[in-house]
Structure 1
Amino acid sequence: MICCAIGLQSWATLRVAGFDLGIFDQAIRAYSHFDLPRSSIKSVHHEFPPSFTLLGDHFTPVLALLAPLYWLWDDPRVLIFAQSALFAFGVLPARRIARRCFSDTSRDGGEVAVNVSGLVYALGWPLLNSAYSGFHEVAFATPIILMMLERGMASRYRSAAAWALLLCAVKEDMGLVVGLFGVLLAVRSHRVREKRGRTVGLVLAVTGPLMAALTIGWFLPHMGSPKGYYWSYGRLGADAGEAIANTLTAPWILFEVAFTPSIKVVMLAWILGTLALLPIGSATFLLAVPLLAERMLSDNPNHWVVINHYDAFLWPILFVASLETLERLRKFGAGWEKSSRRAAIAAVALGSAASVFLGLSLLVNPSHWRASPDKQALIEAVNLIPDGVTVEADNAIAPRLTKRTKVVIADETPRGSEWVLLRAKDRTFPFGNTEDQKQRIALLLDHGYVEMWEKDGATLLHRVKNVPIPGSGMPGADSVPVREKVPEDVGRSAFLR
């Protein structure tokens, strides 16, 4: 309920935008019409050819499972409800894992520990951050990872393998997590002489990385992803081969890149510190290493902050690793019982403080339930745009138009759409400053557009003359995709929204 409330609050105040809720809405709506997951918001802004689909962006076929929801309610908010439900589903395996970890405590004490654990998972700040951002494929990753780990603990190896394979369909890098889970399962099964678990673990240890290699090396390029387009590790090398060669000849480069700039250290300290460093006491933490490495070695500042959805991929792994560490501490002997209790209290206190700071405080602050005047004006202007037309929309308002118009976001390139809705008072993605937005409005007014409505800096334009617009254009079959320019203020603070 909390995640759902934060998501709907973000919808009401236009915190969720074309990037990324609008993209997922267009893609999954296409699935619901038995089409490939196409998004004009994504493809036009990044200059992909018209045939491009999101399966060339990330390997996320699991999203097709949400298509039937659009047969019941054709609205972007269905994804907010779906993500909240998937997060909530994770509470069940989270509680079962906690019950196993605290099975040797007293009945009352064990039940309290299970209830607290379920609450800590459900209100984890990474989940609240994801709810704040709208919707992402991580909605599936969190419950699937928990089910995979829980089934492994229960020695239900076929079921664990099934969840692991489903995880590979969430995103291309999840195969690395599956591979390490397989190694962990094989080692733990070997220790207790579970031959079947060892066999399943070894199979997953090979299958997971193989799936990741196939999806990254073959499937994504086959679906239109340009070679090197998503390579964000230029400090290691120009491509994967050069990066591997450089790290083999000079392995210290990994540490240099991973810990500079210092915001990466802040990110890592926050992620682990909010659980009182408990995750590093369990081998399960190894499953988080490739996901952390992807971000710490990245050149993209968006990967260094802790206010995006990326931490939710880590959350179930860190949560389970923390419970396992507490279990180990308690089994060291009577003298460690008090230490385990103190560590648990510290983790709950730190995690709760982080959740209040990054999510829960939003719900009790009335000002966070009201859209700013310029965004409220965007909401009013949407009602003036007819159905079925082409629109260039301010990124903040784009999801309100995906259902009934052919919408793209307004960006650096004029697209010649029938309608344009853009703000001029507050900077909107992907413009660098408000002056660029004002110049865009002035350019269109000089080349065939008229102002239909204006309020609090939000301007609605309608094209009445087919006058050529300087610099305008739409992607064609031979379009060369362009990478996103990261705003200068991103990456300066780990907590800057």
Structure 2
Amino acid sequence: MSTQAEPRLATDGGPVAEGALLHRLRRLPRPSRRTLLLTLLCFAVTFGTGMRAWSSVGLGGFDLGIFDQGVRGYAHFQLPVSTLKWYHHNFPPGFSLLGDHFSPVLALLAPLYWIWDDPRSLLLGQALLFAAGVPLIRRIARHNFAHADQRLRDRAADLAGLVYGLGWPLLVASQVGFHEVGFAVPLSLLMLERGMARRYGTLLVAAVLLCCTKEDMGLAVSAYGVVLLWRHRRTPEQRRARLVGGVLLVMGVTFTVLAVQWAIPAMGGEPGYYWNYQTLGPNASGAVHNVLHDPALLWHAATDHALKPLLVLWLFGTLALLPLRSATVLCALPLLAERVLSTNPNHWSVARHYDAFLWPFLLTAAIEVLARMHARGRTTAVPRLGVSLAAFSLLASVPLGLMELAIPSNWTAQHDEKSLIKAASLIPSGVWVEADNQIAPRLTARDHVVLVDQVPRGCEYVLIRTKNRSFPFASPTEQAARAQLLLANGYQQVWSSADGGVLLLHRVGDQPIPGEHVPGPGSKPIQDVVPGDVGHDLFKG
């Protein structure tokens, strides 16, 4: 009896192996193939976006270098200490990143450093985490369109996966480096999806991990508890859902309070370090008191700058305002309120990673509204509205990330950045370096790196720019003066770019430097002064 031979797998990855792989892919059910392809697309685009920013030396010590130092600490079974953050913001000794934002979940990335000991492993990890959201958002679409026919369910899942995976919030977050949002996105989706599937055990696990992603995510967890209580208020048989909702409501707020008031100070931070709500009051208790006596303060704080209502309009407008008709949008409101009530202009634009925290809730809310419209009989309008929404959202992704990938010049370093790379190659391993923000992540794997700023630290090497402004300096003149101060007090020039815009200095004397300071016991943390040109453009940082 003849039998058909199994496809032979080539050990060298040649045509036979590739043919076998394609054969196995074809044998997968069509929904599974689409899930896989959309997941790979999301990973490729987000990882590519991060690598493009790395290749052009567009990722700085703030914040990629900070997280590299912190996760590197976890990889060596130590606390996540970052000298970049510690020195620049004047935290006392004993400070770790858990005293900045309480994000113990980042320890889960430590194994990446056992495989690839490089800051880019964080870009890889974040892209994998973002991609993990594709199967979840597709499940969310299928849950909501369970009443529809198979064809519409498939179309809804495909569009949801495409809009999510190429969503502008993920692209923006990828091109500004790595942040805790890498975990927040898939965990938020997992919490929402498990709630729809009524798998409350896994939901609670996701909620706990989400609380451990960043201290304010507890507020989103509590908001989802409110959503569950509201949706199941008239369904006696869903007593378990109401119980879980109550647990989430209490757990989320409790975790946020404990993290801010106890865990962060225990790790060397200060409870009110990120209080940026002076319009409301000097601290949280003062703000509550003032708002209770004058609720109009909230409106004033949310509209005292033109970018704030523009931010809200952009977030909801790119999803055709649909999220406003779903209770799930409540999960995004605490995180959005943090930004529109803030006095820090860094929070008002869409050029940073903050919108990715909102993305799972806003997109899920939009899907829920479309599904509800279809269930109520608007069967012809919903497919057209869904396609239009997808087209509008994806159109927003073109200038906010997709277009950058397609321009070859965006993948290469410019003059200053090439000079920074050259100078960094001359610095020995294992030394203390005060480094320009943009080059810092390329040194953190082999040196002790602090940010070159307005305060001299007395390090062995200093790599600084003098003709183009670099964070956190206010002007190139200030940077040039800093370099001259060092040259006059024990440093000599080791290397300079042709135009003198990048200098590498080496300390050869032991005389004290005027203004030299290293944070010690009793140091009080400080915040950066935001430059005057920040907060004037919705699409620029």
TM-score range, shorter chain: over 0.9
Cα shift at 1:63: 0.4
- Equivalent position of 2:355 in the other structure: 311
Cα shift at 1:171: 0.6
SS in 2 for 1:191: coil
CA distance in 1, matches of 2:145, 2:401: 29
Structure 2 residue 531 is matched with structure 1 residue 481 = no
- Within the candidate set 457, 471, 474, 1:432 is matched to 474
1:326-365 → structure 2 map (5 Å cutoff): 326-333=370-377, 336-365=378-407
Please tell me whether the aligned partners of residues 348 and 535 of structure 2 are also in contact (alpha carbons under 8 angstroms).
yes
Structure 2 residue 285 is matched with structure 1 residue 234 = no
Give the letter for the 2:517 counterpart.
G
- Within the candidate set 56, 70, 87, 2:130 is matched to 87
Cα shift at 1:490: 1.0
Cα shift at 1:227: 4.5
* Greater shift in the superposed pair: 205-214 or 189-198: 189-198
- Equivalent position of 2:61 in the other structure: 18
Please tell me whether the aligned partners of residues 261 and 271 of structure 2 are also in contact (alpha carbons under 8 angstroms).
no
Structure 2 residue 207 is matched with structure 1 residue 164 = yes
CA distance in 2, matches of 1:141, 1:360: 22
* Greater shift in the superposed pair: 180-189 or 122-131: 180-189
Structure 1 moving runs of 4+ over 6 Å: none
Cα shift at 1:448: 1.2
- Equivalent position of 1:293 in the other structure: 337
- Within the candidate set 76, 79, 84, 1:36 is matched to 79
- Within the candidate set 392, 407, 411, 2:453 is matched to 411
Please tell me whether the aligned partners of residues 93 and 268 of structure 2 are also in contact (alpha carbons under 8 angstroms).
no
Cα shift at 1:444: 1.1
Please tell me whether the aligned partners of residues 14 and 396 of structure 1 are also in contact (alpha carbons under 8 angstroms).
yes
- Equivalent position of 1:96 in the other structure: 139
CA distance in 2, matches of 1:480, 1:181: 36
Q: 1:158 to 1:227 in 2, by over 3 A?
A: closer
Please tell me whether the aligned partners of residues 395 and 428 of structure 1 are also in contact (alpha carbons under 8 angstroms).
yes
Please tell me whether the aligned partners of residues 260 and 271 of structure 2 are also in contact (alpha carbons under 8 angstroms).
no
Give the letter for the 2:504 counterpart.
L
Cα shift at 1:237: 0.5
- Equivalent position of 1:138 in the other structure: 181
SS in 1 for 2:495: strand
Give the letter for the 1:376 counterpart.
K
- Within the candidate set 382, 401, 412, 2:443 is matched to 401
- Equivalent position of 1:324 in the other structure: 368
CA distance in 2, matches of 1:377, 1:207: 51
Please tell me whether the aligned partners of residues 88 and 451 of structure 2 are also in contact (alpha carbons under 8 angstroms).
yes
CA distance in 1, matches of 2:512, 2:185: 49
Give the letter for the 1:331 counterpart.
A
Please tell me whether the aligned partners of residues 49 and 175 of structure 2 are also in contact (alpha carbons under 8 angstroms).
yes
Structure 2 residue 102 is matched with structure 1 residue 46 = no
- Within the candidate set 35, 47, 58, 1:4 is matched to 47
- Within the candidate set 354, 370, 373, 2:415 is matched to 373
Give the letter for the 1:26 counterpart.
Q
Give the letter for the 1:405 counterpart.
D
- Equivalent position of 1:105 in the other structure: 148
Please tell me whether the aligned partners of residues 264 and 271 of structure 2 are also in contact (alpha carbons under 8 angstroms).
no
CA distance in 2, matches of 1:117, 1:59: 31
Give the letter for the 2:360 counterpart.
P
Structure 2 residue 416 is matched with structure 1 residue 387 = no
Instruction: Tell me the number of residue pairs that the alignment of Structure 1 and Structure 2 aligns.
Output: 495
Structure 2 residue 463 is matched with structure 1 residue 421 = yes
CA distance in 2, matches of 1:207, 1:423: 48
SS in 2 for 1:68: helix
Deviations 1:456-486 (A, max 9, x none): 4111111111122111111111212111111
SS in 1 for 2:379: helix
Cα shift at 1:186: 2.7
CA distance in 2, matches of 1:30, 1:110: 45
CA distance in 2, matches of 1:226, 1:269: 34
CA distance in 1, matches of 2:212, 2:403: 34
Give the letter for the 1:198 counterpart.
R
Cα shift at 1:338: 3.2
Q: 1:276 to 1:112 in 2, by over 3 A?
A: same
CA distance in 2, matches of 1:223, 1:2: 36
Cα shift at 1:279: 0.7
CA distance in 2, matches of 1:157, 1:381: 54
CA distance in 2, matches of 1:296, 1:230: 15
CA distance in 2, matches of 1:346, 1:108: 18
CA distance in 2, matches of 1:168, 1:109: 35
CA distance in 2, matches of 1:374, 1:110: 51
- Equivalent position of 1:494 in the other structure: 538
- Within the candidate set 487, 507, 515, 1:463 is matched to 507
Deviations 1:320-351 (A, max 9, x none): 00000101111222xx2333234323321221
CA distance in 2, matches of 1:258, 1:347: 27
Please tell me whether the aligned partners of residues 374 and 425 of structure 1 are also in contact (alpha carbons under 8 angstroms).
no
* Greater shift in the superposed pair: 298-307 or 192-201: 192-201
Please tell me whether the aligned partners of residues 486 and 513 of structure 2 are also in contact (alpha carbons under 8 angstroms).
yes
- Equivalent position of 1:224 in the other structure: 268
CA distance in 2, matches of 1:112, 1:120: 12
SS in 2 for 1:306: coil
Give the letter for the 1:402 counterpart.
T
Unaligned runs of 5+ in 1: none
- Within the candidate set 120, 127, 131, 2:163 is matched to 120
Please tell me whether the aligned partners of residues 147 and 375 of structure 2 are also in contact (alpha carbons under 8 angstroms).
no
Structure 2 residue 495 is matched with structure 1 residue 453 = yes
* Greater shift in the superposed pair: 218-227 or 359-368: 218-227
Give the letter for the 1:121 counterpart.
Y
Cα shift at 1:37: 0.8
CA distance in 1, matches of 2:383, 2:474: 50
RMSD: 1.2
- Within the candidate set 346, 359, 362, 1:302 is matched to 346
Give the letter for the 2:423 counterpart.
A
CA distance in 2, matches of 1:468, 1:208: 49
- Equivalent position of 1:268 in the other structure: 312
Please tell me whether the aligned partners of residues 326 and 369 of structure 2 are also in contact (alpha carbons under 8 angstroms).
yes
Cα shift at 1:113: 2.1
CA distance in 1, matches of 2:67, 2:181: 12
